[in-house]
Structure 1
Amino acid sequence: MEQLEDTESYSMTFEQWVKKYDKHYDSEEVRDSRRNIWVKQSMKVKQHNIKYDASKETGYRIQLTRWSDQKPEELSWMRCLAPPTPAGTQAFQNDQLCLDRGLTISEPDSVFDEDLLRNLPRVDWRENDHVTAVKNQQRKPVCWIFSAVSAVESHNKIVNNELVVLSVQQLVDCIPGGDRAGHVYQAFNYMVKRGCTREENYPQNSPFVSGQCLSVGKEVAVEISRWESVNISNHLNPEPEFETAVTERPVVATLLFSSEEKLSNFSSMKNNEEDIFFDAGPYVSGVAHAVLVVGFGSQLNKENTGIDNYWIVKNSWGTEDHLGYLKIAKDRGNQCMIASYGMYPVVKRTAGTEV
């Protein structure tokens, strides 16, 4: 019990955590089992954050979340992208080349110049009201649908000057296998053929489950003519070209992680302004997550001796433990392969009347 007491004194007790997230267990045996998992997770949080506070080895703090009493296999929904396949999408045509490189983090510039920080390029599509509110995929492995729909919403604002909240439930119900892990291009392909209606016309179920496709007769809010991959010519250093693409539009990115533990860290990051996620790899194609990259920027590093660049990503895990947006290290070896598999829709200027 000594280790447990040390853990609980660091952040919150198990009872406080249970109350915060309104947890209910079927029996005392289940409760004890969940508590044991929670204790291990709490110790992980403590050790990670102590390391962050004492050194440069981690660039972010993590926290206890709603999922802190879950086993790794119960969080498999976070790995919501099917393994890359060379057929069917241009976006994964260089996946093995990139995975084999084993990229490492490069050290940032050790000389800090305030004028340089002020003059560095910066883009944030949220400031221009081109991004809808963060949604919640709950425990369904459908980040590929949420990120694609978010991209269409943002591109519709760019093209038609209207920020429309679109239905993710339509795609979950109407794409075969829409409630399972898939590819972003599948969501785009569906919307090329069928368009997408407004969220209010086809609302997300609560609790979020897939159901019968009810798209017939629904008014189309947005149509897309096609989707495109971000054109990358330098696969050893794709971030400059990816930056150009994000300057012009929000872009869906496939994030690859080196392990389930790193993905778990990503899911439990504290949403502090100074926190920037990184994972040096090598990456595993089966541990992947899709997000919408809505901008990039720069900030002083932890020691105020240099500048850290970052990407801004919109997530789809709700806002309970985060504000829905996270920063990922930029210009440091293509962290999580963020710049390698960029995709975006081409929205039509006019819409039809039926899905």
Structure 2
Amino acid sequence: MKFYLAFLLVILAVAVADKDDDFLWKSFKLEHGKNHSPEKELSRKQNFLKQQRKIEKHNRENNGWKMAHSRFSDMTDQEKSVVRGARMMKRKPQDNENAANFPDDVPRNIDYRANKCLQPIRDQGHCGSCWAFSAITALEFSKCKKTGVAVALSEQMLIDCDNSNSGCGGGDYTRAWQYAYDKGGAMTLASYPYVSGAINHTSVSCKFNSAAVAVNVSTYDWTYPYPNATVTMTYLQSFGPLPTTIKVLDSLFNYASGVYSDPACIVADENDVDHAVVIVGYGTTAATATAPATPYWIVRNTWGTGWGLSGYFFIRRGVNMCNIESWTAYVRVV
């Protein structure tokens, strides 16, 4: 009798769990506008439920940061790899000419998110164009900082025209700056809108128009020495937001809040990176009874405002988490 009752309870628990899973799946599809074909519905649901179990386990065991579903939750690993578009060249030695211009100390925190020179978060969509967005963000801020007038520039110009990079196949923001320098500048976003994020987009020829150029590159370089959090902080104060490159683990796709940290993302090889982002600030969490104060970077991503903290995320500072402190660079405009 006891065995029979236990068996019934197990059956009931499974039925309730299945019902809950169905509700979560339907809610996810509605929230993210997912409409799969009958052939793909089952595999997409399985991907989603796999992420659901990971999220539940992580949030039970980790107090430092939390996970939640994002538009990536039902995607395959191959589909998620598309938005990792950093293909970095090896750095050349530099003479650290700007060190003498650095302030003697740095503020306790910096946050450029509300600065008028930082354009709204954009979405690279189904394209490995993070390198172009990182390059453009720094150019926009640098020009606005110099003139006092906000400007929106074109990533699509770099994707279509810069043959030193590979468009949606990936690239390097410093090569993008070199292209803009050689070409005579970067065009406005209004004159050359972004279209590469669409799944059905096909490549088009370069439509560069010098009459629509709004920014000219003067100089650019890597921060030095690296990796060094304090040095990065001084460059951030002097130049504004700094493009950099990170190693993206699967856990980051479902980042929701807190200071991201993953032991698997302490990467021994500094060349093991695949996604370009922009550091726009830093700070330190307040210590609590259960957790010490944690220094962090504020990072701008290009996965849309529906991801993370309205498009941003915090990541642990001072330990070169995911190689974030190895690839910071700055640019000056004419």
TM-score class, shorter-chain normalisation, is 0.7 to 0.9
Q: TM-score, normalised by structure 2?
A: 0.82
Equivalent in the alignment of 1:37: 47
Q: 1:230 aligned to 223, 228, 234, which one?
A: 223
Alignment of 1:275-290 (within 5 A): 275-280=258-263, 281-283=265-267, 285-290=271-276
Query: 1:267 offset after TM fit, Å?
Result: 2.1
Picking from 237, 246, 250, the partner of 1:264 is 250
* C-alpha contact (below 8 Å) 1:130/1:158 kept by paired residues: yes
Long gaps (5+) in structure 2 = 1-10, 95-105
Paired residues for 1:207-222 under 5 Å = 208=198, 209=201, 210-222=203-215
Q: What is the identity, as a one-letter code, of the residue corresponding to 1:300?
A: A
Matches within 5 A, 1:1-355: 6=17, 9=20, 13-27=24-38, 29-53=39-63, 59-82=64-87, 84-86=88-90, 89-90=91-92, 121-176=108-163, 177-194=166-183, 195-205=185-195, 208=198, 209=201, 210-232=203-225, 235=226, 238-248=228-238, 249-257=240-248, 263-270=249-256, 272=257, 275-280=258-263, 281-283=265-267, 285-301=271-287, 303=289, 306-322=292-308, 323-331=310-318, 333-348=319-334
Q: Deviations over 1:22-80 (max 9, x none)?
A: 212222x3111111111111111111111125xxxxx2111111121111122111321
1:287 shift after superposition: 4.5
C-alpha displacement of 1:126? 2.7
> 1:206 deviation in Å?
7.0
Please, what is the CA RMSD of the aligned residues?
Answer: 2.6
Render the CA deviation track for 1:94-126: whole Å, top value 9, x for unaligned. Answer: xxxxxxxxxxxxxxxxxxxxxxxxx97111123
Normalised to the residue count of structure 1, the TM-score between the two structures is 0.77
Residues 67, 5 of structure 1: alpha-carbon distance in 2 compared, 3 angstrom cutoff: farther
Q: Which has the larger radius of gyration?
A: 2
Q: Which amino acid aligns with 1:298?
A: T
Write the distance in 2 (CA, Å) between the matches of 1:224 and 1:295. Answer: 23
- Determine the C-alpha separation between the residues in 1 that align with 2:315 and 2:222: 20
Q: CA separation of 1:243/1:309 partners in 2, compared to 1, >3 Å: closer, same or farther? A: same
SS of equivalent to 1:307:
coil
Size of the alignment, in residue pairs? 301
Q: 2:209 aligns to what SS in structure 1?
A: coil
> C-alpha distance in 1, partners of 2:287/2:59?
17
Q: Are the structure 2 counterparts of residues 91 and 255 from structure 1 closer, same or farther at C-alpha, using a change threshold of 3 Å?
A: farther
* Contact 1:165 1:198 survives alignment (8 Å): yes
| CA–CA separation in structure 1 for the residues paired with 2:219 and 2:241 | 16
Q: SS of 2:212's equivalent?
A: coil
Taking CA–CA contacts closer than 8 Å with sequence separation of 6 or more, which of the two structures ends up with the larger relative contact order? 1
